[in-house]
């Protein structure tokens, strides 16, 4: 059976709808030319000052699941990055340290090894720095470095692993390196899109390939969601609707106001706090209010709800939001305009997005090593 190769130049000559109609009438299969750097994920980027080893991964995995690595020994990293919830929180706004709320949706750590910046506005520039902020943040881990070191030093397994991996006693900075190393191993597998990008023409169905065409053309998704990770890692305002939780729940409002206060916004902005201001917290520039880093799209089947405030519950909701041309925002990107997608095009786009997911990345909670009294070194007899 002949194949009709769809090139970017072809799209410029024919409307997408007309091209699909011709192909359907001829009874031919689709083959899509990938553009804007779309492709399979390559090897995990190397970090010369924090190379991946099995023992370091083991140490990082244990620390990631260890609730003792929080202020009151109640909240492990996996309290907000739950394997069975897509390695996110599963709620609109992430839970916080006991007695508090967070102010943002908890992002997945799956494939985080490939990112250049972390958090919704790109505040952290490495996984190590992300781990530090999460561990020590007042509304997250609330853990003091000296407290972490004291607790790890009372757990013989950690003493053993730190000596094996780093040649040191348990310490805060190397603990962060270990957690980041473990996170770099949490990766998607058996992703249909990757097989397709590597030459398996049957890895995507005809409907998924049509969705890919829409993604790259009429849907304009590729303008921001490009490259192998499906993100440009830039910050854009798209007019995400306000989450009313900040009006209805006192702890969420307190968390948002704390974010405003801690990031040093002007008093008039602080007193009007009713939504997350995104990149503005870093730059204090009016034009950066409402801008957030483009999230990667891989593994999104398992990471609902969506957006920085979790206000869109399903993929269908997300597509409808973009189809309307986003929301109202004075800083809204010029890239966000009404799409006029048909119901069939929306369905095919959803099917394509699901082809980016692969197998669910699940992990059982490990058995954590216990505290033990570590005998003091024997003293010589005088």
Q: Which CATH superfamily is domain 54-183 in?
A: Cytochrome c-like domain (1.10.760.10)
Question: How many Å apart are CA 240 and CA 129, to the nearest integer?
Answer: 27
The confidence score (pLDDT) of residue 170 equals: 98
Q: Place 17 in a pLDDT band, splitting at 50, 70 and 90.
A: very low
Same fold, 3-41+191-240+290-354 and 54-183: yes
The confidence score (pLDDT) of residue 380 equals: 59
Instruction: Note the pLDDT tens digit of each residue in 65-108.
Output: 999 999 999 999 999 999 999 999 999 999 888 889 999 999 99
**Residue 351's CB: how many other CB atoms inside 10 A?**
19
Question: Nearest-CA neighbor of 372 among 160, 159, 208, 154?
Answer: 154
Give the mean pLDDT of 219-229.
98
Instruction: Note the pLDDT tens digit of each residue in 134-146.
Output: 999 888 889 999 9
Question: How many Å apart are CA 16 and CA 150, to the nearest integer?
Answer: 62
Tell me: pLDDT of 378 over 90.
Answer: no
Residue ranges per structural domain of the chain = 3-41+191-240+290-354, 54-183, 245-286
Instruction: Note the pLDDT tens digit of each residue in 164-188.
Output: 999 999 999 999 999 999 999 999 9
**Residue 262 contacts by C-beta under 8 Å, 6 or more apart in sequence?**
138
CATH code for the structural domain at 3-41+191-240+290-354: 1.10.760.10
**Comparing 28-37, 123-132, 217-226, 264-273, which segment has the lowest mean pLDDT?**
28-37
Instruction: Note the pLDDT tens digit of each residue in 33-69.
Output: 999 999 999 999 989 999 999 999 999 999 999 999 9
Q: Place 22 in a pLDDT band, splitting at 50, 70 and 90.
A: very low
Tell me: pLDDT of 3 over 90.
Answer: no
Q: Place 279 in a pLDDT band, splitting at 50, 70 and 90.
A: very high
Question: How many Å apart are CA 35 and CA 216, to the nearest integer?
Answer: 7
Identify the top-confidence range among 19-33, 56-70, 361-375: 56-70
Q: Place 155 in a pLDDT band, splitting at 50, 70 and 90.
A: very high
């Amino acid at each position: 059976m002949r194949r009709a190769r769809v090139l970017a130049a072809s799209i410029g000559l024919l409307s997408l709808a007309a091209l699909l109609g011709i192909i359907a009438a001829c009874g031919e299969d689709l083959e899509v030319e990938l553009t804007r750097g779309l492709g399979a994920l390559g090897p995990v980027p190397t970090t010369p000052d924090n190379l991946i080893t099995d023992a370091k991964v083991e140490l990082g995995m244990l620390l990631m699941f260890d609730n003792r690595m929080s202020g009151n020994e109640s909240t492990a990293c996996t309290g907000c990055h739950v394997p069975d919830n897509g390695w996110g929180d599963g709620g609109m706004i992430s839970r916080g340290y006991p007695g508090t709320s967070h102010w943002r949706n908890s992002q997945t750590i799956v494939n985080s090894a490939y990112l250049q910046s972390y958090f919704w506005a790109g505040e952290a520039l490495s996984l190590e720095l992300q781990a530090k902020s999460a561990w020590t943040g007042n509304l997250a881990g609330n853990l003091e470095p000296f407290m972490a070191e004291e607790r790890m030093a009372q757990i013989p397994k950690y003493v053993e692993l730190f000596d094996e991996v780093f040649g040191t006693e348990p310490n805060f900075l190397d603990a962060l390196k270990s957690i980041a190393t473990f996170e770099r191993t949490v990766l998607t597998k058996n992703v249909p899109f990757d097989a397709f990008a590597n030459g398996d023409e049957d890895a995507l169905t005809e409907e998924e390939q049509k969705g890919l065409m829409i993604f790259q053309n009429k849907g304009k998704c590729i303008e921001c969601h490009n490259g192998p990770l499906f993100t440009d890692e830039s910050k854009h305002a798209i007019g995400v609707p306000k989450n009313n939780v900040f009006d209805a729940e006192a702890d969420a409002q307190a968390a948002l106001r704390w974010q405003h206060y801690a990031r040093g916004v002007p008093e008039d902005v602080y007193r009007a706090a009713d939504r997350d201001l995104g990149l503005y917290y870093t730059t204090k520039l009016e034009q950066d209010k409402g801008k957030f880093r483009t999230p990667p799209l891989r593994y999104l089947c398992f990471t609902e709800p969506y957006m920085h405030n979790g206000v869109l519950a399903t993929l269908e909701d997300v597509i409808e939001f973009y189809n309307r041309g986003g929301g109202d925002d004075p800083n809204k990107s010029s890239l966000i305009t009404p799409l006029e997608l048909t119901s069939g095009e929306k369905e095919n786009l959803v099917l394509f997005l699901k082809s980016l997911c692969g197998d669910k990345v699940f992990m059982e909670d490990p058995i954590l090593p216990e505290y033990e009294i570590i005998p003091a070194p024997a003293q010589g007899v005088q």
